[in-house]
Structure 1
């Protein structure tokens, strides 16, 4: 998930805490290197180091401006205290501790305080105090120009890194936002295409099938069966006009009620009854009761129904055989007829009945379709769908 404005502020606050505590520890370590010479100085400055450590810890969670001011003030006082013993025996360690504190630890506050006028003015005031304290504490040991240069490099470097990070993160967020919009547009287009394909399949399996029967004067189909089919199509079209989203229930029949899991043995009966009404004699073999997830079952039965519809329309015979088998992972249906057959190489890949209502449906649920046919030798279609 991309960083929000609050997320960026938290990131900078935690970075400020990490950098500040690191340099603060380095400053204290430099002072503690010469414990015998700096014992009294350590005793005096430990509370200030503790206050600064607590301040950086709190700033890392809350970005507290009050604690920012406190750390700047405590740091400036500590630098002055370190300068009291600048000409003593531990001069090297005290000067190092002063420079690390003024040029490393205190500038870490820049990282989380460049997003407001009050914060910037607080930083500027604290930086001026720290600079003055640094010059005083190193006076007589280092040239003032060297102290100022060290101080300026530390503050400028962290300010520059902070601004670079801010710009880089803003650009990255802009790119992420553009990618998100592009992904959303692609997803919308994909969903629209899926709905279009579903609508095309629905029309092919219901209304177009009925219109085809009417165009052939209902040859081979009883009047009552044709009337029932037309009535079912009319009901579906009314529901669609009212904004319903159709869910396939069985081949040639849709419902607006989705189901979680269906009983194949029960639902298969509706496919049998439909083609009995249509005048196609189907011999059923194999497994009876099988359980499949709803979407897999829908694809399986609708594809099976379309295969039988193709037999009824195109094979030139009035009977077919359906064999359903299963193993631990797969359910298979083999639809066979002894009709006229056809040349597989000359099948139009754009034919909706084959490409969409059978092959595409089965593929979308992780299954596969195999087709065997030759002119004069009938046709066999094998449908395979996964159980899980």
Structure 2
């Protein structure tokens, strides 16, 4: 059973318990009024009131239909015990009315939500109503108020239970709709993120190679272009097949070690730009532990910064300095080239906006650029530590 249904049943049982115990207590007090009947009748009525209260409590503890049936049976016995007395005084009539319209009717709230609950409620209420009608006809007592109270009590509690159940069903439907909408939004966001990532990768690799070819590979040897094109072809194949571009969960950077994964990743970036005519010097010390997603973002942003140096700075050398503190890893890309006015860069350009800023923002990082014409350029990349 779904949790929302369990909560519905719990609240309805609580309503049944409060109503049933209140009705049984009120009937018990009415019977205690002097002159309500003979001693034997009073003793039986008081006992039945206690039994009704106990059965109501049992029914609300376990949700037992047998206990609910027992409540109605005890109420029928209560009506027959006091209703067949020679005299039906106001206190006795009130006791019967409270028993029929409150104590016994309390089970309607929890029964109506069961399978075929309406038929169950109608059957039990009908049995009690038939008892009251027969008693009235057999004794000649005026019991119209008792009959109305019983019918109204059962109707109100049954409608209340059905209304509550309908509200729960509506809430369940809306929760399902919200869940489906959230799932659709999550899938769309993941798809958009993947598309943006693919666009960044294509921009940083394949489109860069095509740009070289469009400029006849000036400054780059034919073998370097051939190797780069081969790498791009493998990358395109991975993207087309949906194969992850990298595996693993964590990586460690140690500038002096060729065995560490991040060092190897940086070395592959350095070798790529060496082939393309840009000499990259790496600086840094110690070990930096980064999640794979953060590592990919940092290396990708670094690669795009170096590509911008190669294409726009007018120099063939660049420096990359890796530092960190307790919370942040920083990579600083520096060149002594032509420089530019940062405010003059079109924010809609895919290279810096997506391949650098977008990448780092996706992992909680940021990028800052410092440059002026004739004074070179420095780009500070920052990513958070886990």
Coarse TM-score class (shorter-chain normalised): 0.7 to 0.9
| Deviates further, 76-85 or 103-112 | 76-85
Equivalences for 1:1-388 in 2 at 5 Å?
7-8=4-5, 10-11=6-7, 13-33=9-29, 34=32, 38-39=42-43, 41-43=45-47, 46-47=50-51, 49-58=53-62, 60=63, 64=65, 66-83=66-83, 92=91, 95-114=93-112, 119-134=117-132, 136=135, 143-241=142-240, 243-247=241-245, 255=246, 258-265=247-254, 266=263, 267-388=265-386
CA offset at residue 130 of structure 1?
1.7
Q: Secondary structure of 1:107's partner?
A: coil
Displacement after TM superposition at 1:134 (Å): 4.8
Shift in Å, 1:196: 1.5
Give me the whole-angstrom Cα distance separating, in 2, the residues matched to 1:168 and 1:198.
44
For structure 1, which segment, 335-344 or 123-132, has the greater mean C-alpha deviation from structure 2 after superposition? 123-132
The CA deviation at 1:88 is 9.5
Cα RMSD after superposing both structures: 3.2
CA offset digits 1:125-166 (Å, max 9, x no partner): 3212322445649x9999522212222221221233233323
Contact 1:325 1:333 in 2 (8 A): yes
Give SS of 1:50's match: helix
Secondary structure of 1:385's counterpart equals: strand
Measure how far apart 1:208 and its partner are.
1.1
Structure 2: how far apart are the matches of 1:239 and 1:117? 55
Name structure 2 gaps, 5 residues minimum: 255-262
SS in 1 for 2:100: helix
Q: Give the Cα–Cα distance (whole angstroms) in 2 for the partners of residues 141 and 287 of structure 1.
A: 104
- Distance in 2 (CA, whole Å) between partners of 1:126 and 1:363 is 66
Change (3 A) 1:164 1:121: closer
Q: Which moved more, 1:124-133 or 1:343-352?
A: 124-133
| 3-state secondary structure, aligned to 1:381 | strand
**Deviation (angstroms), 1:183:** 2.5
Q: Deviations over 1:76-100 (max 9, x none)?
A: 12332344668599x73x5544333
Aligned length: 368
The one-character-per-residue Cα deviations of 1:222-260 (angstroms, maximum 9, x if unpaired) are 33332222111112223333x22332xxxxxxx4xx211
Counterparts of 2:297 and 2:290 in 1: how far apart (Å)? Answer: 11
In the aligned structure 2, how far is the partner of 1:319 from the partner of 1:88? 110
> 2:165 and 2:68 mapped to 1: Cα distance?
20
- TM-score relative to the length of structure 1: 0.82
**Distance of 1:84 and 1:53 partners within structure 2:** 28
Task: Tell whether the 8 Å contact from 2:48 to 2:74 is kept in structure 1 after alignment.
Answer: no
The alpha carbon displacement at 1:293 in A equals 1.1
Any gaps of 5 or more consecutive residues in structure 1?
248-254
Aligned to 2:314, the other structure's residue is in SS state coil
**CA distance 1:167–1:159, shift in 2 (3 Å):** same
Structure 2 counterpart of 1:252: none
Q: After alignment, is 99-108 or 66-75 more displaced?
A: 66-75
Contact 2:101 2:154 in 1 (8 A): yes
Q: Name the CA distance, whole Å, in 2 between partners of 1:279 and 1:117.
A: 78
1:301-321 superposed Cα distances (whole Å, 9 cap, x missing partner):
111111111101110111112
